[in-house]
Amino acid sequence: MKQSETTRRVFRRRAAQLEVKIRFKPAASFTKSGDTERLVMGRTRDISETGMALLVSARNIDRYLTQKENGFDVELGLPDGLVVLQASPVYFKKASAGGVATYLIGCRFTDVPEMQLNRLITFLRSLPVR
């Protein structure tokens, strides 16, 4: 099905493999069971000004991703340093490769300080459009 001009993405995705750290904050219901925040390392698959797709190797993070109100903190490693922002999961898919649980996570940026956003935009403009 062909998309109309109004349904196309405004911000084009750019192919980029950048190191990323995600810090999940558990929901109140999880903290009652003793869960604390969880740090996961991964790499971006693609990125735009409003979100990114990333791959992480982790076990048992479904519960952090199924709660739409559960955002997470992101440290994105750009060539000129870290960009720190907050994101919210929009999509995730679990796969297993060689016994290692891997997740493809699509997320939307929810809080990006203006200076961090400007650095991200400058970086994205230097990449080819996907």
β-strand 19-24 against 51-57: which pairing, if any? unpaired
Q: What is the mean pLDDT of residues 82-94?
A: 91
Contact at 8 Å (CB) between 13 and 48?
A: yes
3-state secondary structure of 63: helix
- Identify residue 126 by its one-letter amino acid code: S
Identify the CATH assignment for 14-125 out of 3.30.365.10, 2.60.40.1180, 3.30.1300.10, 2.40.10.220: 2.40.10.220
Q: What is the mean pLDDT of residues 53-69?
A: 78
Both structure tokens of 108: 């939307």
Is the pLDDT at 51 greater than 50, yes or no?
yes
Domain coordinates in residue numbering, the chain: 14-125
Q: What is this structure's pTM?
A: 0.78
Instruction: Give the residue from 20, 32, 122, 22 showing the smallest Cα distance to 65.
Output: 22
Q: What is the DSSP string of 105-128?
A: EEEEEEE--HHHHHHHHHHHHTSP
Contact at 8 Å (CB) between 87 and 64?
A: no
**72-83 pLDDT, tens digit each:** 899 999 999 999
